[in-house]
Amino acid sequence: MRPISWAAVQTTDRPATDAVDSALMLISTLEPTIHAWAYLDHERARREAAEAAGRGGSLLGLVAGVKDIFDTADQPSEYGSPIYAGHRPLADASAVALLREEGAVCIGKTVTSEFAFAHPGPTTNPHRTTHTPGGSSMGSAAAVAAGMVDFAIGTQTAGSIIRPASFCGVYGFKPTFGSVSIAGAKIFAPSLDTVGWFARGPFLLDQVRVALTGQPEAAMMGAAPTIGLLRTEQWNECADDSMRAVVATADIAQALGANVLNLDMPGPMAGLADKQPTLMAYEAARSLAWEHRAKRDELSTELREMLDRGRRADAAEINGVRAQKSAALTSCAELFARCSVILTPAVIGEAPHGLGQTGDPRFARLWSLLGLPAVSIPAATGSTGMPVGVQLVAAAGDDAHLLAVAAWVTGGKPVPVSGAHSPQGVLA
């Protein structure tokens, strides 16, 4: 087994003010191309850095981006919608407050799709600026991939952490549903919305988890894990790039000493991923009832149509989805009795061309619906040179173990970042 020292956590002894100055310098260079930021005030960020230096904390010296779905008392929170242009909340969201308490500087607000749904913002993929970075946490993933910040927080309702992490070639973590407070974020679907975050290495993912949950840090792997390879019923919808990434990751894990099992899809889970949009629409139509009624003309066509579907949803159908979810969670327990983590696709393949859509979240929908912790790890380079990630999933509450396995499988390697421009993107 490859030795991994969990003590090799990404720490920094940079003064917070120096870290922010370096970040702002890189942002000034790259932002005209990447468009990752919804709001950025250089002087405000420098003041926050000076204040953080006086407080200390486990994240001191680290710079964070905040998806513009979270409230911030000192910066606008517009939720990706013209309805909330210039909106100034009175308080920070819980996640933002906790990160600041631990010394992280929340340097600015990153671009989000409209209300964290489908209608994209202007952000480009740093690896190839003609391609989407994924959504809805597009600005957060792109800012981390480009090295603008050390980490960035986002949210996932369907695939808004896993998909952009894969497309942008970074690590993305969605914890167990409810383990991180969603208070102060604009709610879309309350049984699905989950705070998540991006980083260029797995150790920083765990540092942020500790800061946001108060739980102990992950322990170093003492023995090779048992990994279940679950292709799911959607396996044949994968592009070859994604299939190869999953199989190659399984081969690497096995070569390192892991016991890799082929798992069959349990019956109660069949078809459940395709039902996640129905429950999401039903809940969103109620969460955004005021916007839907009073500001309908200011919503995108995609969102209006989805909210209309949600209002028409049949109660019996919704109750059926919830009942199947309960049965599927029972069958998940049977899966995790055989393995400690599941290996499965993260995305169909490379990031699609164009900025008018954010890609398909189908391989994250099931795990979001079930509320299980999931992490996207950079696994391969696709056939055209773009990143392709794979997804690891664990049982509810096994977040620390999941991140330890992610570090073990990848050797804990950070994703390299370069500011050098290329004809297609900004990353060498």
Joined together, the tokens standing for residue 163 give 């998909």
- Catalytic site residue from 77, 113, 137, 160: 160
DSSP H helical ranges for 215-294: 240-255, 272-287, 289-294
> Who contacts 21 (Cβ-Cβ below 8 Å, separation ≥6)?
46
Calpha distance 252→378 (Å, rounded): 13
The CATH number of whichever domain residue 96 belongs to comes to 3.90.1300.10
185 lies in some domain: yes
136 is catalytic: yes
Q: Which residues of the chain fall short of a pLDDT of 70?
A: 1-12, 418-428
Q: What is the pLDDT of residue 4?
A: 42
Q: What is the number of residues in the chain? A: 428
360 lies in some domain: yes
- Catalytic site residue from 67, 109, 174, 325: 67
319 lies in some domain: no
Q: What is the pLDDT of residue 416?
A: 77
User: In the block, which residue shows the tokens 């603008």?
Assistant: 148
236 lies in some domain: yes
Is the backbone of residue 397 left (phi > 0), alpha (psi -120 to 50) or beta?
left
Query: Tell me, what amino acid is at 335?
Result: L
306 lies in some domain: no
39 lies in some domain: yes
Q: 272-287 vs 362-370: helix axis angle to the nearest 10?
A: 70
The count of domains in the chain is 1
Q: Is the peptide bond before 136 cis (omega within 30 degrees of 0)?
A: yes
Q: What is the pLDDT of residue 412?
A: 80
Q: What is the pLDDT of residue 14?
A: 81
Joined together, the tokens standing for residue 253 give 């894990």
In SS3 terms, 36-71 reads as CEEEECHHHHHHHHHHHHHHCCCCCCCEEEEECCEC
- Catalytic site residue from 113, 136, 242, 376: 136
Dihedral (Cα; 170, 370, 357, 285), 10-degree rounding: -140
295 is catalytic: no
Calpha distance 1→228 (Å, rounded): 18
299 lies in some domain: no
Q: What is the pLDDT of residue 415?
A: 84
Joined together, the tokens standing for residue 33 give 């191309």
Q: What is the pLDDT of residue 374?
A: 98
Outline where DSSP puts E strands in 329-426.
341-345, 374-381, 387-394
Number of H helices, E strands in the chain: 13, 11
188 lies in some domain: yes
226-230 and 259-263: which strand pairing?
parallel
Calpha distance 162→160 (Å, rounded): 6
What radius of gyration do the chain's Cα atoms show?
Answer: 20
Calpha distance 86→79 (Å, rounded): 10
Contact at 8 Å (CB) between 58 and 102?
A: yes
Calpha distance 357→375 (Å, rounded): 23
Q: What's the half-sphere exposure (Cβ side, CA atoms, 13 Å) at 298?
A: 14
Calpha distance 174→375 (Å, rounded): 6
> Comparing C-alpha atoms, which of 116, 117, 112, 182 is closest to residue 143?
112
Question: What is the domain range of residue 346?
Answer: 16-267+324-410
160 is catalytic: yes
Q: What is the pLDDT of residue 222?
A: 86
Calpha distance 34→129 (Å, rounded): 7
> Comparing C-alpha atoms, which of 134, 64, 122 is closest to residue 389?
134
